[in-house]
Amino acid sequence: MNSRVIGAMLIIGPILTMGVWILYNIETSDMSPSDTMIAIIADTNKAEISSILNIFGVMSMFTGLYFLAKSLKSDNTVSNHFSEIGGLLLLLCVPLWVVLVGSNLSAIQEATEFGNDVGATIIASTTALQMGGILLVVGLFMLGISLTLLRKYKGIIGILFIIASVSAFIDMVFEIDIMGMIGWMGMFLMILVTGILTTLKKEN
């Protein structure tokens, strides 16, 4: 696939997902499913628009990462193994994250027809998909190793991917806020930077 197309996907994805989270998000952190449903119903239009934007964001981002991993095929067998496995894990993120970030749409529809309790049940059930974050962490870690081995972008991007993914993993295990900030924000930022660099890269 053309590097500019991959780069565009890696730029659009983080902008949509992080942009919505920062600028157009309904705050539901640490809320119970019932309270979350009440907050969503209170601003239905905002919840629906943010969910739709998030769906397109994660589809663009993870598909772009998959094609980036595929583009790293080289004579380095070790790098190929890491990029292939990492790319597969990142591709698996697409359906899981689409369901996760788009769950508000289904919850609103069911709550409107059958009541908030039904919508809250949908919200509660999708929390199990949050463990899909481990696919992103491991996938980006392996992609980072491949980028480092091939010294793409002088190896800097790969090392930063590794640092960010390890930080995010530590946060998932020990719930350390600073590691979570470095890890999750770092990963999305590095995906955006990678998209910009990939877009600017000249085709062979």
| CA–CA distance, 138 with 161 (Å, rounded to integer) | 10
In one-letter notation, the amino acid at residue 190 is M
Q: Where are the alpha helices (DSSP H) in 71-202?
A: 77-101, 103-114, 116-126, 133-149, 156-174, 177-180, 186-200
Lowest average pLDDT, out of 9-13, 83-87, 108-112, goes to 108-112
| Span 11-34, pLDDT tens digits | 999 999 998 888 888 888 778 889
| Residue with the larger pLDDT of the pair 38 and 126 | 38
pLDDT at 202: 63
DSSP assigned state of 182: I
φ/ψ of residue 53, rounded to 5: -65, -40
pTM of the model: 0.90
